[in-house]
């Protein structure tokens, strides 16, 4: 509407695991003078990510999920024209508003005013941040595009078997999701299903729902095997 100032959406949805056309949405929003904020929690490491091509005003991504970095590793990307409006929730010694951040620490706090203003947050442990380059290098060494494809194939196998078993149709085409897929299951209490899978089969899995449909949302990472997928398929709770 004419009152819309910001569009906030996920790059990959949590409930249904669908990859949304964020670049198209961001470009259309920019033509209308609307800012965009993308929640990229599940995108880095699971799909190719080109922030310039997406063109979001703000993009926030996690690195501890599919990129295999430690918990606490994440990033904020903002277009340069928005840098001045962003401040850290926590500030620390030496902070002086209007000076570009924390004074006296320019040598190691960042290459830009934006970085210096946001990165110095007291005595926070930054080890997780420092591990991100190694996570990227690890995936590069191990041909991660091939790993992603293998993971997608395992997820597709589970999707095909379980939807055929229950006579339910997939909610999207195979190209609409990556290593994470929401598999529809017969109507039931989602929390009870999740607990049964854990208690009976020692399987920890997300059980979600959307528009009245219950899903088991499986996430296949590089360390998962066909044996893991077959264990899920054979679980009594999904019979």
Q: What is the pLDDT of residues 51-67, one digit of tens each?
A: 999 999 999 999 999 99
The pLDDT of residue 108 is 53
Average pLDDT of the residues in 100-109: 55
DSSP H helices, the chain, are: 22-31, 51-54, 106-109, 113-119, 127-130, 132-141, 144-166, 190-201, 226-234
**Closest Cα partner for 185 from 205, 177, 200?**
205
Do residues 93 and 83 make contact, with C-beta atoms less than 8 angstroms apart? no
> To the nearest whole percent, how much of the chain has pLDDT over 70?
92
Q: Is the pLDDT of residue 122 over 60?
A: yes
The pLDDT of residue 88 is 83
Q: Is 0.95 surpassed by the pTM of this model?
A: no
The pLDDT of residue 124 is 83
* Helices 144-166/132-141 angle, 10° precision: 80
Please report the domains of the chain, with CATH numbers, ordered by start residue.
6-140 (3.40.640.10), 143-238 (3.90.1150.10)
> To the nearest whole percent, how much of the chain has pLDDT over 90?
81
**Closest Cα partner for 17 from 239, 215, 234, 189?**
215
Mean pLDDT across the chain, nearest whole number?
93
The pLDDT of residue 169 is 97
pLDDT digits (tens, 9 = 90+) for 181-231: 999 999 999 999 999 999 999 999 999 999 999 999 999 999 999 999 999
pLDDT band at 113 (very low <50, low <70, confident <90, very high): confident
Average pLDDT of the residues in 107-118: 68
Degrees (nearest 5) of the Cα angle 38, 128, 19?
25
Give the separation between CA 8 and CA 120, rounded to whole angstroms.
27
pLDDT digits (tens, 9 = 90+) for 6-35: 999 999 999 999 999 999 999 999 999 999
Is 43 or 113 the better-scoring residue by pLDDT? 43
């Amino acid at each position: 509407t004419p009152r819309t100032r910001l569009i906030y959406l996920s790059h990959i949805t949590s409930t249904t695991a669908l990859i949304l056309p964020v670049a198209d949405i961001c470009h259309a929003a920019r033509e209308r003078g609307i800012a965009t904020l993308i929640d990229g929690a599940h995108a880095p490491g699971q799909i190719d990510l080109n922030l310039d091509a997406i063109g979001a005003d703000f993009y926030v991504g996690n690195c501890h999920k599919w990129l295999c970095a430690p918990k606490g590793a994440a990033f904020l990307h903002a277009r340069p024209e928005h840098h001045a409006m962003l401040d850290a929730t926590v500030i620390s010694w030496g902070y002086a508003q209007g000076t570009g951040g924390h004074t006296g620490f320019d040598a190691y706090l960042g290459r830009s005013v934006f970085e210096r203003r946001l990165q110095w947050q007291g005595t926070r442990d930054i080890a997780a941040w420092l591990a991100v380059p190694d996570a990227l290098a690890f995936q590069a060494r191990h041909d991660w595009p091939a790993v992603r494809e293998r993971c997608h194939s395992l997820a597709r196998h589970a999707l095909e078997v379980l939807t055929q078993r229950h006579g339910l149709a997939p909610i999207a085409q195979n190209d609409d999701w990556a290593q994470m897929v929401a598999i529809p299951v017969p109507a039931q209490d989602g929390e009870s299903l999740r607990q049964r899978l854990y208690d009976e089969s020692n399987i920890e899995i997300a059980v979600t729902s959307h528009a009245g449909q219950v899903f088991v949302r499986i996430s296949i990472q590089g360390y998962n095997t066909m044996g893991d997928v077959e264990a899920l398929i054979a679980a009594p709770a999904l019979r």
